[in-house]
């Protein structure tokens, strides 16, 4: 089949073109043998006739994608069937038959049709990069070519579950602070729109100038009562826009996580852990280092580091050791580089990378607990100050009246 590629010929020149190959891994090796450093490799449409026949279904597939949880479920189900000695095509048919998701059903139907036409399973998966990332495709290809698809699937399943566990830990660490913030905001809204207006009539009977804090609070209350619907629309619009931006590859909003104190440290460690685990998995599966870096690079997330990894690959293709190339560009800390050097010298790089990932996972777990312990009291303090200030502002007229009477 044909692949469209983009590669660096030298530091200042980028070339593009179309190349024949069996799969992504084969194309990467072919490009590297020609002295090129691959940037991206994407399969072209398989057959024009088939594309015309399935235009409607293809459009539906292109609009969808697999999230991490969906990919884990798909891999788990396929592994269970293969492990039960069900032949691949039969396993995919069973998955299609019992699938409730329309887009996924169409996807499985297309994959089954391709396999019946003689297309390898990994090549079928490479046609749908939104559903199956290149790392996933390459591991499946390795398992397919060695006759150990079951082993490849269990490796992927362990890898994906660890990514999912890490993601879940982050969500759990933020869940309680977010809940507290929502409850606190709701309490403030109720006080301003229901409690304070009931006291406003009593303030009118004082026949005296109200304190400035009370006046400000009453104006805020009147505004919320009059324009609560506009505020709800505004919040909904902001949430909608942020959701669209998050769906993008790397929006400016998403990049904020690289600059927020404490958070940026956790994000960095998470990137290093994911990269180490991805690279270890690819190397354990027999993928060469240059090809493995192509697939593991995007896992880092930070576009600056991804571009620097391109230069690391170029240095490696010119004979520079992996650890020396890493130390040159300072993408990773010295500890990481030294561990990689030990792994290279001992011929156990993939094992060392897996150990690094485990080490960073432990650090992330500890950092998340620390972050959670800092956020929770901070939120309580801020909400307490706001609500306390509102209560004092509401009681000030009463205090003033008592001082006048006294």
Residues 267, 315 share a domain: yes
The owner of tokens 């798909």 is 74
Share of the chain above pLDDT 70, in %: 83
Asked which of 160, 187, 209 is the last residue of a domain, the reply is: 160
pTM for the predicted model, two decimal places: 0.65
Residues 83, 29 share a domain: no
Residues 313, 374 share a domain: yes
Q: Is the pLDDT of residue 233 over 70?
A: yes
Q: Is the pLDDT of residue 49 over 70?
A: no
Residues 69, 28 share a domain: no
For residue range 338-355, list pLDDT tens digits in order: 898 998 888 888 899 989
Tell me which residue range forms the domain holding 197: 162-406
What is the chain's mean pLDDT, rounded? 79
CATH code at position 219: 1.20.81.30
Residues 205, 69 share a domain: no
Contact 60/103 with Cβ under 8 angstroms? yes
Q: Is the pLDDT of residue 217 over 70?
A: yes
Residue 299, pLDDT score: 77
Bridge partners (DSSP) of residue 2 are 20
Q: What is the DSSP letter of 191?
A: I
Give the strand order in the sheet containing 2-10: 13-20, 2-10, 37-43
CA distance 84 to 78: 10
CA distance 2 to 91: 28
Asked which of 114, 142, 160 is the last residue of a domain, the reply is: 160
Structure tokens at 250: 């790397």
Specify the higher pLDDT residue, 341 or 200: 341
Query: What number of CA atoms fall less than 13 Å from residue 17's CA on the CB side?
Result: 12
Residues 145, 246 share a domain: no
For residue range 77-100, list pLDDT tens digits in order: 998 999 888 898 899 999 888 887
CA distance 78 to 142: 17
Asked which of 127, 160, 193 is the last residue of a domain, the reply is: 160
Q: Is the pLDDT of residue 227 over 80?
A: yes
The owner of tokens 């602070």 is 177
Instruction: Give residue 61's pLDDT band: very low, low, confident or very high (50, 70, 90).
Output: low
CA distance 146 to 140: 10
Angle at which helices 289-296 and 134-145 cross, to 10°: 140
DSSP string, 90-118: HHHHHHHHT---HHHHHHHHHHHHHHHTT
Residues 323, 215 share a domain: yes
Contacts of 335 (CB under 8 A, 6+ apart): none
Mean pLDDT of 208-230: 83
Give how far Cα 71 sits from Cα of 87, 104, 243, 275, 366, Å: 20, 11, 21, 18, 28
Residues 194, 151 share a domain: no
Contacts of 308 (CB under 8 A, 6+ apart): 329, 331
Q: Could you give the number of structural domains in the chain?
A: 3
Instruction: Give residue 54's pLDDT band: very low, low, confident or very high (50, 70, 90).
Output: very low
Residues 225, 121 share a domain: no
Residues 306, 372 share a domain: yes
Task: Give the least confident one: 227-241, 295-309, 316-330.
Answer: 295-309
For residue range 141-189, list pLDDT tens digits in order: 888 877 888 888 888 888 888 888 888 887 887 788 888 888 888 888 8
Q: What is the CA radius of gyration of the chain?
A: 29
Instruction: Give the alpha-carbon dihedral of 173, 177, 180, 186, to 10 degrees.
Output: -120
CA distance 101 to 195: 47
Residues 66, 124 share a domain: yes
Residue 46, pLDDT score: 44
Residues 92, 30 share a domain: no
For residue range 239-272, list pLDDT tens digits in order: 887 776 655 544 555 566 666 666 778 888 888 8
Residue 208, pLDDT score: 60
């Amino acid at each position: 089949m044909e692949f469209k590629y983009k590669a660096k010929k030298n530091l200042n020149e980028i070339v593009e073109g179309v190349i024949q190959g069996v799969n992504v891994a084969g194309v990467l090796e072919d490009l590297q043998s020609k002295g090129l450093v691959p940037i991206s490799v994407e399969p072209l449409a398989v057959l024009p006739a088939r594309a015309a026949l399935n235009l409607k279904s293809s459009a539906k597939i292109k609009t969808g994608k697999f999230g991490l949880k969906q990919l884990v479920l798909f891999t788990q189900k396929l592994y269970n069937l293969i492990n039960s000695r069900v032949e691949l095509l039969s396993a995919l048919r069973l998955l299609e038959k019992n699938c409730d998701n329309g887009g996924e059903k169409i996807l499985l139907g297309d994959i089954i049709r391709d396999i019946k036409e003689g297309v390898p399973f990994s090549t079928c998966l490479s046609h749908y990069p939104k559903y199956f990332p290149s790392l996933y495709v390459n591991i499946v290809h390795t398992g397919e070519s060695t006759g150990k698809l079951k082993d490849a699937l269990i490796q992927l399943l362990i890898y994906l579950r660890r990514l999912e566990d890490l993601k879940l830990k982050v969500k759990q660490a933020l869940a309680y602070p977010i809940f507290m913030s929502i409850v606190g905001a709701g309490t403030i809204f109720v006080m301003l729109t229901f409690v304070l207006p009931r006291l406003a009539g009593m303030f009118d009977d004082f026949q005296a100038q109200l304190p400035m804090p009370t006046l400000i609070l009453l104006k805020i209350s009147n505004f919320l009562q009059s324009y609560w619907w506009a505020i709800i629309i505004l919040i909904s619009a902001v949430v909608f826009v942020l959701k669209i931006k998050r769906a993008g590859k790397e929006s400016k909003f998403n990049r904020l996580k690289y600059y927020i104190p404490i958070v940026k440290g956790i994000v960095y460690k998470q990137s290093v852990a994911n990269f180490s685990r991805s690279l270890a998995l690819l190397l354990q599966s027999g993928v060469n280092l240059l090809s493995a870096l192509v697939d593991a690079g995007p896992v880092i997330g930070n576009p600056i580091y991804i571009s620097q990894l391109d230069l690391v690959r170029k240095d490696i293709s010119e004979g520079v050791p992996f650890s020396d190339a890493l130390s040159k560009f300072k993408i990773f800390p010295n500890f990481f580089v030294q561990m990689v050097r030990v792994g290279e010298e001992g011929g156990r790089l993939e094992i060392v990378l897996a150990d690094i990932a485990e080490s960073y996972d432990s650090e992330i777990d500890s950092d998340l607990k620390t972050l959670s312990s800092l956020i929770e009291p901070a939120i309580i303090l801020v909400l307490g100050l706001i609500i306390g200030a509102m209560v004092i502002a509401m009681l000030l007229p009463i205090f003033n009246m008592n001082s006048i009477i006294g």
